[in-house]
Amino acid sequence: MHIETVRFDRVFDVQSGTFSFEAGGKRQFAVIFDNELVPTAGSTFAVALDEPGNWQQVIGWRDLSGSTVGLKRSAVWVALDLLFDIWIIGIVIPSAALLFGGPWAGLVALVAMLVGAVAIVVGCALNNRQIERALLAVSPAQAGAVTTPFADQHMPARRPDPTAPAR
């Protein structure tokens, strides 16, 4: 995870939640926060990127004028998606295990699938909590700073952004 603060100098090419922007002399194209949010020119955001500099991999954001954090993957939606997958696959795999391995194999297959699904949802919730804490830790005074991934103490280390405009 990589946190960047960006002041949107210009926002253009807005199309149904996708937008392009210019900040600090650099342009980024086809960025998506969610299907509804498009920042305005002059606003400052803290953005969590999955990979440094890859604006196609936005995983969270926060408008620094407020304290609301947006997340790309909600643990609730992940859980609902897994319920659908378990509904489809949960019939086939335990049935095959039951048919070829007996009742204990069928039960073990079902329990393994449910434990795996719970682990995925809990992992997503913990990851979202880490993203939210990192975004809330960024103050508006830190605009133009690049935050590196979490260190051992789970505190972001900051260094000046060489592309930020001079103050």
CA–CA separation, 13 and 39 (whole Å): 12
CA–CA separation, 7 and 79 (whole Å): 34
Please compute Rg for the chain using Cα positions.
Answer: 21
Q: Where are the domains of the chain?
A: 2-72+139-160, 75-123
Lowest mean pLDDT among 33-47, 76-90, 140-154: 140-154
- Locate tokens 């909590």: which residue? 129
Q: Full-prediction pTM beyond 0.95?
A: no
Of 35, 46, 42, 41, the C-alpha closest to 68 is 46
- Exposure string for 125-142, b = 16+ CB within 10 A, e = fewer: eebbeebbebbeebeeeb
* 140: DSSP letter: G
- Given a contact cutoff of 8 angstroms between Cβ atoms, the answer to whether 15 and 32 are in contact is no
Predicted confidence at residue 115, as pLDDT, reads 92
What dihedral angle (degrees, nearest 10) is formed by the CA atoms of 72, 77, 83, 89?
A: -30
Q: 111-166, pLDDT tens digit by residue?
A: 998 898 899 999 999 999 999 999 999 877 665 555 444 433 444 444 455 555 55
